[in-house]
Amino acid sequence: MHRRVYLAAVGTAASAGLAGCSSALSVLEDDPCSGDECHIGMNRTEFLPESYEVAVGDTVIWKNTSEADHTVTAYDGLIPDEAEYFASGGYESQEAAYDAWEDRGGRLGSRQTFEHTFEVPGTYEYFCIPHEGAEMAGEIVVTE
């Protein structure tokens, strides 16, 4: 009788532990985006892929593929001089994006997307405000 109780308890614990695996498994994926839905996914503390290359005039779509809130925020000084600044929420500077985050401005909830069209060649570095301390950062390389 005790063996059945033990096995039932172990089975219940295993089932409960696996219940969150669908979002946990997305952390293990190298590329959580497929097709035209998105180009860059976001797990708990990473952009996937971390580096992405496009041609001038291409639009990049980021998708929050995790359960955590994220932002896509360009570093002011780490984009080409002539390039348009970009950030989820439409902010015009890194400082404005930081200020807005205090009220969750620019937030991308689970499965939400953000897109930006790159018109100037060069390397664009960006990050996620709430996960900046965890070094959640990426780069877009725009070629002619």
pLDDT digits (tens, 9 = 90+) for 43-59: 999 999 999 999 999 99
Q: Is pTM beyond 0.85 here?
A: no
Q: Which pLDDT belongs to residue 69?
A: 97
Distance CA 133, CA 1 (A): 51
- CA–CA distance, 140 with 143 (Å, rounded to integer): 10
Q: Is the pLDDT of residue 79 over 80?
A: yes
d(CA 52, CA 50): 7
- The model's pLDDT over 125-138, given as tens digits with 9 standing for 90+, comes to 999 999 999 999 99
pLDDT of 14 > 80? The answer is no
Neighbours of 61 (CB within 10 A): 15
- pLDDT band at residue 31, thresholds of 50, 70 and 90? low
pLDDT of 52 reads 97
| pLDDT for 2 beyond 60 | no
Phi and psi, residue 116, nearest 5°: -150, 140
The predicted structure's pLDDT at residue 108: 98
Mean pLDDT of 86-93: 98
Start-to-end C-alpha separation, the chain: 72
Residue 33's pLDDT band, with cuts at 50, 70 and 90, is confident
User: 4-8, 40-44, 91-95, 122-126: which has the minimum mean pLDDT?
Assistant: 4-8
Domains of the chain with CATH codes: 40-142 (2.60.40.420)
Per-residue pLDDT band for 32 (boundaries 50, 70, 90) equals confident
